[in-house]
Structure 1
C-alpha cells in the first residue's frame, strides 16, 4: 500500500520515477480502511529534498499512510520557495488538536546554537509536550534527537571538536527489539553532526534502551521502553549524494572539511560515493511504522493518551 500525499507535491513525481507507489488524495478516498496518520515536522532548510528522503522511507510498507507536512516557523526558508510552503505545509497551530499515529521530527543545522537561542525553541518545547499526548510514537532525527533528550530528560549534548561525517558501521545491541528485526548484526549509516550525547548518558536513563551503537558514533538508535519515543542520531534517510553535497558546500565556503569517512572510493571526492546504508534505512522505518506505530496505536485515535 502507498503513502498518500497531495496530488501536486513535487516529491510525487520524483518517487513515481523511482517506481515507488504513491497515492493522491482522490484515489485514497475510495479505499474503505483506516489509514495511518503520520506528521513530518520538517526543520531542514531545504524542505523539498528532505520531504523526498523521508517520504521514500515511509513508502516501503503495506500500510496506507496519510502524511501531513508541518511547520512551526513562519519565516520563509531561504532554500525553499514560499509558494511551496504555503501550498503543502500546515502550521502547527492548525493541527494542534489532531492526533497522529506517528510523527517524524527532522534534524536541523543548529549544532552550534544553545537550544534556548534557537528562534523557535519555545514552540519546539510545545510540540514535544504535545507529541506525548497526541502521538503514538515520535521519531526524532539528529539535532532533534538531542533536543528531545534535553527537553524530556534534562541531559545536555556536547560538541565535538570536528564534525562527525561519513558512513559508519553500527552494531545492533538489542536484536530482540522489534525495531531491529531483520537487521544484520553490523550495518552502516550516514552521520553528519557536531553534537553528541555520551552513550553512558542514554544508559543512565531507566526509560530508555540503546538499540544500536558503535565506538565511532556512540549511540545511534535509542528508544523508550514504551515505544513512544525513538531517537536516531544519524541520517538513514540521506540520498547517495547528500554527504558529497555537504562536503563540497563546506569546501566552497573555505571551512576545510575532512573527507567523509567510508564514503568516497579511495577517499577521492571526484569518484561516485559508495552507497551501503539505504536497505537498512528503509528497514528501520518499516519496522517503526509496523511495530512501534501500527501494532500499538488505537483504532480510534481520539482514545490516544499518554
Structure 2
C-alpha cells in the first residue's frame, strides 16, 4: 500500500519519480481500511530534504501510512520557506489531543548546546511525555535520541574532540530483535554528530538494550521498551550525498572540517560517494512499522490507554 501525504508536498514529486507509491488524499478516504497514523516532528534545518528521506522509507512498506508533519509550536524555522511551513506543518499544540500509531522525532543542529539551553527544550520535554499517552511507538533520531535518553533517564551527552562524520561499520548485537530482522551481522551507517551517548552511562536496571554499535563511533541503536521507543543515534535515512552536502556547507562557512571517513571513493571529495546503507535503512523502518502494526490497537482512540 502507498503512503498518504499532502498532494502538493514537494516530496511527492521526488517519490513518484523514484517509483514509490504515493496516494492522493481523495483516493485514501475511499478505502475502507485504517491507515497507520505516523507523525513527524521535523527538527532538521533542511526540512524538505528530511521529509523526503523519511517519507521514502515509510512509503516502501506494504501498509497504508498517513504521514502528518509537526513542528515546535513557537519556533520559527530559518532554513525552510515560511509558506511551506504554513502549508504542510501543524504546531504540536494543535495535534496534542490526537493519537498516533508512530511518531518520529528527528535530529537537530543544536547538539553542542546543553539540553536546557535549547530554546524549545521545555516543549520537547512535554512532547516526550505526551508520546507516553498518545503514541503507540516512538522513533528518535540523532540529537532527539540523545535528548530522549537524557529526559527519561538523565543520561548525559559528551562532546567529541572532532565531528564524527562518515560511513562506519556497525555490529548487530541482538539478531533476534524484531527491529533487526534481516540485518547483516555487520553493516554501514552514516554518522554525523559532534557529541555521543556512552554505553557506561546507561542505567543498568532500566531494561534498555543496545541493538547495534560501532567500534569507531560507539552506540547506534537502542531499544527502550519501557517507553515504547527506538533510539537511533545516527542517520540511516540520509541520502547518498547528504554527508557531502554537510561537508561542503561547513567548509563554505569557514569551518575546519575533516573529510567524512569511509565515504568518498579514495577519500577524494570530488568523487561521488556510493550508497552502501540504503537497504538497511529500508529494513529498519520496515521492521519498525511492521512491529508497530502488529501491536497497535485497531481503535486509534485506545492508543496509550493501556500504557
Query: How does the TM-score come out when normalised to structure 1?
Result: 0.97
Q: Does 1:302 align with 2:301?
A: yes
How many Å separate the matches in 2 of 1:12 and 1:74?
27
The range that moved more, 129-138 or 73-82, is 73-82
Match in the other structure for 1:285: 285
How many Å separate the matches in 2 of 1:72 and 1:144?
13
* SS at structure 1 position matched to 2:255: coil
> Does structure 2 conserve the Cα–Cα contact (< 8 Å) formed by 1:167 and 1:188?
yes
Q: For structure 1, which runs of at least 5 residues remain unmatched after alignment?
A: none
> Does structure 2 conserve the Cα–Cα contact (< 8 Å) formed by 1:105 and 1:141?
yes
Match in the other structure for 2:135: 135
* SS at structure 2 position matched to 1:216: coil
* SS at structure 1 position matched to 2:295: coil
Match in the other structure for 1:85: 85
How many Å separate the matches in 1 of 2:98 and 2:278?
32
Q: CA deviation at 1:227?
A: 7.3
How many Å separate the matches in 2 of 1:219 and 1:113?
20
Q: What is the RMSD of the two structures over their aligned residues, measured on CA atoms?
A: 1.1
Q: CA deviation at 1:205?
A: 4.7
> Does structure 1 conserve the Cα–Cα contact (< 8 Å) formed by 2:153 and 2:203?
no
| Count of residues in Structure 1 that have an aligned counterpart in Structure 2 | 305
How many Å separate the matches in 2 of 1:217 and 1:228?
25
Map Cα deviations across residues 262-295 of structure 1 (whole Å, 9 max, x no partner): 100110000001210111011100000001x111
Q: Does 1:177 align with 2:177?
A: yes
Match in the other structure for 1:252: 252
Match in the other structure for 1:34: 34
> Does structure 1 conserve the Cα–Cα contact (< 8 Å) formed by 2:75 and 2:120?
no
Q: CA deviation at 1:250?
A: 1.2
Q: Where does structure 1 differ by over 6 angstroms across 4 or more consecutive aligned residues?
A: none
The range that moved more, 238-247 or 223-232, is 223-232
Q: Does 1:19 align with 2:16?
A: no
* SS at structure 1 position matched to 2:209: strand
How many Å separate the matches in 2 of 1:14 and 1:75?
27
Q: Does 1:108 align with 2:86?
A: no
Counterparts in 2 of 1:227 and 1:152: CA distance versus 1, 3 Å: closer
* SS at structure 2 position matched to 1:52: helix
Q: Does 1:213 align with 2:213?
A: yes
Match in the other structure for 1:156: 156
Counterparts in 2 of 1:276 and 1:303: CA distance versus 1, 3 Å: same
How many Å separate the matches in 1 of 2:204 and 2:214?
17
Query: How does the TM-score come out when normalised to structure 2?
Result: 0.97
Q: CA deviation at 1:168?
A: 0.4
> Does structure 2 conserve the Cα–Cα contact (< 8 Å) formed by 1:60 and 1:282?
yes
> Does structure 2 conserve the Cα–Cα contact (< 8 Å) formed by 1:203 and 1:210?
no
